[in-house]
Structure 1
Amino acid sequence: MRKETVEQKVYQLIKNAILRRQIAPGNQLFESAIAAKVNASRTPIRSAISKLEAEGLVDVIPNKGAFIVQPTMEEMIQAFKMRKVLEELAIREGYSKLVKTHIELLKSHTEEMSKAFEARDMLVYHEKNKAFHLVMANASGNRYLIDFMDKILNQITIYMILYDVFSENDENDLLEHHQLIQLIEMNDEASLLEVVTEHLNHSLAKLEDDKLKYQSLTKLF
């Protein structure tokens, strides 16, 4: 088996397991054990883990090893605080540049979120949620803002996938998205800022409440 094939196989197995919440945050990834399971050397395993680290799914701690990302509540709060600052900046810089196409995108992403919610497809739900919140930044045309928004939304999306569960709160998220779109169409920028802040506060509160069950990593290989 070629190195690239082993690397991709391990990368996809671990990534899918993380995103499907089949591995608990904090689980250690043992290179030697994984290599033995897939009958390969540790080199492609290490490369796969490095790729996962670059995507924010794995933490590599010197002299300890690689672990599934396990953010503390303080880290998640910090991420949401930064997101709040960036979302507010996106509104200030992008609001006046919104055109019909942007509004249609917001509606489309919200509709796809609603379908994903009904189907209980968490990955698609959070993917479309991220896309929704990037629309305003993209409208701004500020490439630095877009890059920072994309990065923080990627990390928060991982946190939400790891800890969020579908509940009535997610229906509230959808209602808030519809409210945001309505405020944009009403040209009410001040209220838009207030609702965005409330929306982010609700999202963070969910992370504090949700509890999940996971399976052992050894079941994957």
Structure 2
Amino acid sequence: MTTIYLARHGRTAWSVQGLYTGVSDIGLDDEGARQAGALASWAARAEPDEVVSSPLVRAVRTASGAAAAAGVELRTDPRLRELDFGIAEGRRRSELDPEVVRDFEADPAACPFPGGEDPAAGADRFTACLAELGPGRILVVAHNTILRLALCRLLGIPLADYRRRLPRIDHGSVTEVGFGPEGAALRSFNVPLGG
């Protein structure tokens, strides 16, 4: 049996400004550092067998304290990185062409931002990484959009509905997914840890 705890990295300055932060390597702000500390405290209690992170600095900085608290070595995997948002990267939705935004809001899986990564491909790479983890209890630190896409893929929710069915994953929160013979089961979602 494998239990995977999916955590979103701590807050960044771009998050506060409402900027799309996909592949841009943005660090944590002071609140994000506090949230990383809360995840480390959680990991000291939960004692995951392994901690795996996206290689982007905001995820690594969030995961490193948790790995140390759990007494394990942090491992990174590029398949856990955030979706590339193409022309939206580093911008607010209000700064984009209204027609592009309208198409994206209608079906974000079929109409990703131009120049960005296909959401289905992103979900596939992320879940392929998860499939290689375990057995045991594993903490995975990653990003808002790719976590929601992966959860949709694991739970049989159409990717087109990821923004509606899973509106957001909060910074520093933990979602628990169990994996057994019958597939994935959502045990908890978006649980805040404080910070």
TM-score when scaled to structure 1?
0.26
Structure number with the higher strand fraction is 2
Q: Compare CA radii of gyration and give the structure with the larger one.
A: 1
Bigger RCO of structures 1 and 2 (CA < 8 A, at least 6 apart): 2
Structure number with the higher helix fraction is 1
TM-score when scaled to structure 2?
0.28
